[in-house]
Amino acid sequence: MQTLMKSDLHLKGCNKKYEGKVREVYHVDGDTLVMVATDRLSAFDVVMPKGIPFKGQILNQIAAHMLEATADIVPNWLMAVPDPNVAIGKACEPLKVEMVIRGYLAGHAAREYAAGKRVLCGASMPEGLRENDAFPAPIITPATKAEQGDHDEDITPDELVARGVVTAAEYAQLEQYTRALFARGTKMAAKQGLILVDTKYEFGKDKDGNIILIDEIHTPDSSRYFYAEGYEARQLKGEPQRQLSKEFVRRWLIEHDFQGQPGQKLPHMSDEYLLSVSERYIELYEHITGKAFVKADVNDVVARMQQNLANYFNF
């Protein structure tokens, strides 16, 4: 299987490179970002040793589709998509908070609820809910990076302000944007027969101090989707929901005794399993965008990206 695990691009004017769990970001001429979506897979804050075919292309193209569809709600960083795996946009100073919004009791929230918690990041979760039930109204549960390590840390809005991560006015703006984006994403998903269960948004400030939407939105790495058809029947029967997200990978890892804890060993992922994950990602792409997925040429992805970027920047 040919997957993009590392980009190693040579870009004129590049003065800095950042490697995240999935994306690699090149800073060009100070105010432009070249963001490469690799095929790496991260779960429980651990990068898996093998990539998922076409995952980077899928994430990049869904994110571009969604950023274009929400640009009327909040300004965003995206300027161009010169290659299936590459997005180019405005550099900005990231705000050190992930705005997580949840319409349903699923994933991390469900695990916390099962452990007895009824307040998450300052947001109340009513009694009597079953896993995957809808909340009366979406709740926002912010997260930030823990001071020790790379794990995400639940945090309340008041704590964010007290720590100086954002001002009270900035948080109010972030919450307004988050709810509006989630409402738009929910509407777009419904048209495609899907339920947007939960998602996260990241924001930054441009050189003029304006808050803008950055990174990816409404992708299977940042969001969870259920199929709308059969949702109610499955809830009544207490059956798991059919979903399109990274959660099925997390559950597979949990079943194989891995949750990213010290001393735990990563289970072996066969090529067959990795291809099945790729098929799930393609399925999500086609469902959420309403477009047929066209696989890019993967004979030499780095050379392809290099050429497309040379054409874009004219060097």
Q: Is the pLDDT of residue 249 over 90?
A: no
Confidence of residue 51 (pLDDT cuts 50, 70, 90): very high
CATH level 3 topology of 14-92+274-313: Phosphorylase Kinase; domain 1 (3.30.200)
Confidence of residue 280 (pLDDT cuts 50, 70, 90): confident
Q: Is the pLDDT of residue 258 over 70?
A: yes
| pLDDT at site 152 | 80
161-175 pLDDT per residue, tens: 999 999 999 999 999
Looking at domain 93-245, its CATH architecture is 2-Layer Sandwich (3.30)
Weakest-pLDDT range from 67-71, 96-100, 146-150: 146-150
As a whole-number percent, the residues of the chain with pLDDT over 70 amount to 98
Contact 140, 123 (CB under 8 A): yes
| pLDDT at site 150 | 57
Average pLDDT of the residues in 104-133 = 97
More confident residue, 44 or 113: 113
- List every span in the chain annotated with CATH 3.30.470.20: 93-245
Confidence of residue 146 (pLDDT cuts 50, 70, 90): low
Summary mean pLDDT of the chain:
93
212-231 pLDDT per residue, tens: 999 889 988 789 999 999 99
Q: Is the pLDDT of residue 45 over 70?
A: yes
- List every span in the chain annotated with CATH 3.30.200.20: 14-92+274-313
| pTM reported for the whole predicted model | 0.88
Q: Is the pLDDT of residue 204 over 80?
A: yes
290-308 pLDDT per residue, tens: 999 999 999 999 999 999 9
| pLDDT at site 15 | 87
Weakest-pLDDT range from 14-28, 170-184, 190-204: 14-28
Measuring CA to CA, how many Å separate 166 from each of 18, 66, 142, 178, 213? 23, 25, 12, 15, 15
Q: Is the pLDDT of residue 67 over 80?
A: yes
Q: Is the pLDDT of residue 9 over 60?
A: yes
Confidence of residue 149 (pLDDT cuts 50, 70, 90): low
Average pLDDT of the residues in 25-41 = 93
| pLDDT at site 220 | 80
Average pLDDT of the residues in 88-105 = 96
